[in-house]
Amino acid sequence: MLKINITEFQDYDAKSMYEYLLVQNDTEFEIIIPREAVEGTDDQYVLATEFIGAAYAGQLLSEISSCFAYYTPCPNKAKPFLYQTIINDMGKLADALYYISLGFNDPGCIEPFLDFHVKSAEFLNDAFDEKVECKTWGLLHIANNFLE
C-alpha cells in the first residue's frame, strides 16, 4: 500500500502526479490529509470548513475507488484524515489528488482553492438534501455540528 501525504504534493501538477503514480505501480493507497484545526483552540467555523473539505475529498476518492474506507479523527486531537482506497485508473486518481491538493494546500492561485471549497459546501448541502449518495457521513456530521 502506497502512502500519499497530500501536503508533499503541493508543488505537483496533475501530469507530475500521474507520472509519479505510474512509477509506483500500485493500486492500493492510503491518502493522508493532515489537520490544522483542533477543537478547543481553533474557531468552530475553521473546524467545520476542514471537516467539510475532508468529507468532499473522501467523496471524490470513493467515486473512483473499487474499495474505499476512511478514518474519522476526533475533532479535539490533531490526527490526520485518512482514506484507504483501491484505484486502478491512475489518471483519475492523479486528477483527484491534484484537485484535493489545491483545496488543502492554498497554492497562491485563489480560484482553484475557492472552487474546491465552494464545491465542498455544495456537497454538504446535497448530502443532507439526499441529492448525492454520501460515502463520508462521519465527517459531514462532525462538520455540521460545528456549524450549529
Q: How far apart are CA 144 and CA 138, in angstroms?
A: 10
Given the DSSP bridges, would you call strands 28-33 and 2-5 parallel, antiparallel or unpaired?
A: parallel
Full-model pTM: 0.94
User: Residue 106 — very low, low, confident or very high, per pLDDT cuts 50/70/90?
Assistant: low
Concatenated DSSP letters of 85-148: EE---HHHHHHHHHHHHHHHS--S-HHHHHHHHHHHHHHHHHHHTTSS--S-HHHHHHHHHHH-
Return mean pLDDT, the chain: 92
**CB under 8 Å to 134, separation ≥6 — which residues?**
55, 59, 123, 127, 140
Return the percentage of the chain with pLDDT > 70, whole number.
97
SS3 41: coil
